[in-house]
Structure 1
Amino acid sequence: MDNTPIIAFRDFGFQYTVQAEPTLYHIDLEVRKGEKILIAGPSGCGKSTLAHCVNGLIPNSYPGKATGALTIGGKDAFSQGLFELSKTVGTVLQDSDGQFIGLTVAEDIAFALENDCVPTAEMHETVRKIAKLVNVEQVLSHAPQEISGGQKQRVALGGVMVGDVDVLLFDEPLANLDPATGKQAISLIDEIQKHTGCAVIIIEHRVEDVLYRPVDRIVLMEDGRIRFDGNPDELLSTDLLPQGGIREPLYVTALKYAGVAITADMRPSYLPELALTDAQKAQVRRWFASQPPTPAQPEKPVQLMVKNLDFTYSGGHHALRGISLEVHKGEMLSIVGTNGAGKSTFSKVICGFETAQSGKLTLNGLDLRTLSIKERADHIGYVMQNPNQMISKNQIFDEVALGLRNRGVAEENIRPHVEETLKVCGLYPFRNWP
């Protein structure tokens, strides 16, 4: 591994122009070629800001004041434009849809090559090689919007790999993927890193999922500062992750509940190599056997009833088949399934965004099929996977108040409701922010 850092933060700090306080404080961090680094931390800790400094979105798109030094490829990062930095750092965004340029997968992968005026024959050959490497050969003629979430991420990765970059930066690559597809994504990142030898930076809070394949270092951030930078096994032998609001791997938590002391030499960061003594295994079995059964829940009235629900898209895809279930008052229900299983479609049918061809759908005895989308919104609140698609106002207060205003609630009654909601959500200090 080359010992010269590709990226070097030296006592670096950053404050956005629109904010009163810095987001990053005294960051000292080096990234070398061939390293795979996980940067983790709770929402608002500064990890996305750190990523934006690396890929040039700061200061080129998000201006602010920087202190200290940041060099990328041996040059001052803030003196380089986005185009120049893109030759060193390739970024795969959390929302792959926001990264697509071409009308087809092949065109999207070829975009950077076209900009560099690569000859057509050479371009086609490069696209084929990259498509094979990221396993999207079978969808080259498809529109990016037509393929699955996992395939979209592979296409986005292919689009940045054609530039032969030194650093691949993944901004929350697992956010929109189910666990199985997430494992495939982490495996692909691991394969690409081994194939290219480039540095890989993964911004993610799902630590256990990233550790499906080994990483060299974990950088744990909290309140704009680096709290830990080092060996993953050493980190998991501490309580720093739960203390920082990050869920540690469930198997580590289970071992702690069983009374097993976690040490770095047990290799807790990589489950296939986790080393437990026979005594520790026996200790875990005794703890598991001692757990009481889950207590029976009291019967509650049915609030939402779905019976024999069927839905087929206009293109002929039969997304829902005979769905029947009951949701009781006060119940917390999780609907799980792989990408494409029908989870989002089911939600859209409940909210009225799509109309089922057959079946029964009632809420507190009221037939939802007789209600418009606006009328259903009086009874059902819906949070989309991508919240950016829901935001239409310029300030947080006005955004939260929008639903009440649309329902004709008096303005003097809106403020106390909105302020209480913002306090519950921890957003009251930001109520006047854009």
Structure 2
Amino acid sequence: MNETVIAFNSFTFKYRSQKEPTLIDINLDIRAGEKIVIVGPSGSGKSTLAHCINGLVPFAYRGESSGTCQIKGQETKELDIFQISQKVGTVLQDLDGQFIGLSVGEDIAFVLENDVVAQDEMKERVAQVAKMVNIEEYLTDSIHQLSGGQKQRVSLGGVLVNDVAVLLFDEPLANLDPATGKHAIELIDQLHRQTNKTIVIIEHRLEDVLYRDVDRIIVMEEGRIVTEGAPGDILASPILSQTHLREPLYLKALEYAQIPLTPAMHPENIERLQLTNKNMEQLRNWYHQVERKTTETQEEAVLKVENLSFHYSNQPNTLNDVSFTLHKGEMVSIVGKNGAGKSTLAKVICGFERHQKG
């Protein structure tokens, strides 16, 4: 059996500024080479648990704790945050707040520079890691001109270059569109298979994380671990709805169609989901019986955009000839992949940016 890399034993933590503990009686072992996802509603303690793993608790976020939290057999409070960073690499939700260098290559090399690694070796290791995360073509580019998915690859390269034992992802999909999120999950899975590192993912978007296999799902609520287990066992149980977490949409459809779930049906992955002919008939019947609402378009136009074009000084054609009309009472969603121009369009509409044409 693989060694235990992360171990919580009756661990409780209370922030200095709070009256009640955020983590309560946490007992959890994470083994070497495991890939787990930790889920829970907002305020459940997921991020605080992550902070305990990467050393931000207790070194950046002060408070009182009891019980033990160990990384590779060493109590975290007996280490300093630098020593923990040599064992645990963190990819944050706020990627821009994690970058140090001006270019991709400089940022990946930052840890090596601190360790006074010889330049020849440094360049070789940066090139190897950049290839591993598929960012080698951008080593001389400015980080702030990259897309969200590319920035995540740079951030991941910055922790991989240090050869840490644990990779911790704190809501890696939060700022990524679904397609880019799939690429991110695929990259994490690829790295897991290539390196066999221990991977811990904190995330709300469980369905997107399960695009690739995980070993265990840990469910948290109100500072406690309420259950843990294999993905199939967790998804076949009512625990997600009981803890107010969004189930994968295909499972919600099965629930509406009154199809009972079992772990043997492989509910953890839509591509491997096994349904009988009777199940498929139930699903089709439910689908065709669902009433679909239609909305009447209001005549009064409250916002009209015609032939709108805008570009930043260093990015041509951010918005190019955009036209649409919003009517009174409408609820409209603007969607698009990272870098499509959604946020820029909102800035222009609000007057934060001045358009050039239209």
TM score, norm. by length of structure 2: 0.97
My pick for the range that moved more, 258-267 or 308-317, is: 308-317
Q: Where do residues 62-77 of structure 1 align in structure 2 (5 Å cutoff)? A: 62-77=61-76
Q: Distance in 2 between matches of 1:50 and 1:133?
A: 28
Other structure's SS at 1:340 match: coil
What is aligned with 1:60?
59
CA distance in 2, matches of 1:80, 1:305: 59
Alignment match, 2:334: 335
Cα shift at 1:235: 1.1
Displacement of 1:298: 6.1
CA distance in 2, matches of 1:142, 1:242: 44
Shift of 1:48: 0.4
- Write the deviation string for residues 250-307 of structure 1: whole angstroms up to 9, x where unpaired: 0000111111111111010012111111111121112112223323336363322222
Tell me if 1:270 matches 2:262: no
- Say what the alpha-carbon RMSD is for the aligned residues: 1.2
User: Which residue identity lines up with residue 275 of structure 1 in the other structure?
Assistant: Q
Conserved? CA contact 2:218–2:227, under 8 Å:
yes
Report the Cα distance in structure 1 between the residues aligned to 2:138 and 2:132, rounded to whole angstroms: 13
Equivalent pairs, count: 358
Specify the code of the residue in structure 2 equivalent to 1:123: M
Determine the structure 2 residue equivalent to 1:15: 14
Give, in whole Å, the separation in 2 of the partners of 1:294 and 1:202. 38
User: Could you tell me which residue of structure 1 aligns to residue 164 of structure 2?
Assistant: 165
What is the match of residue 41 of structure 2?
42
AA paired with 2:354?
A: T
Residue 76 of structure 2 corresponds to residue 97 of structure 1:
no
Query: One-letter code of the match for 2:164?
Result: V
CA distance in 1, matches of 2:296, 2:200: 44
1:30-72 deviation per Cα after TM superposition (whole angstroms, max 9, x unaligned):
1111111100111111100000000000110111000111111
Aligned residue type for 2:143? P
Residue 200 of structure 2 corresponds to 201
1:18-417 aligned within 5 A: 18-297=17-296, 299=298, 301-359=300-358
* Aligned-residue identity in percent: 54
Farther-moved stretch of structure 1 (132-141 vs 327-336) = 327-336
Change (3 A) 1:48 1:217: same
Q: CA deviation at 1:144?
A: 1.2
Computing the radius of gyration from Cα coordinates, the structure with the larger value is 1
- Distance, in Å, in 1 between the alignment partners of 2:40 and 2:143 is 31
Q: Aligned-pair distance for 1:353?
A: 1.3
CA contact under 8 A between 2:37 and 2:200: conserved in structure 1? yes
CA distance in 1, matches of 2:16, 2:84: 22
Distance 1:245 1:126, change over 3 A: same
Structure 2 residue identity aligned to 1:218: I
Contact preservation (8 Å) 2:217, 2:229:
yes
With structure 1 as the length reference, what TM-score do the two structures score?
0.80
- Deviations along 1:150-171, one digit per CA (max 9) or x if unpaired, are 0100000000001111100000
Task: Note the C-alpha offset of 1:140.
Answer: 0.2
Bigger relative contact order, structure 1 or 2 (CA pairs below 8 A, ≥6 apart):
2
In structure 2, C-alpha distance between the alignment counterparts of 1:167 and 1:89, rounded to whole Å: 5
CA distance in 2, matches of 1:61, 1:127: 29
Partner amino acid, structure 2, of 1:183: K
Gaps of 5+ in 2: none
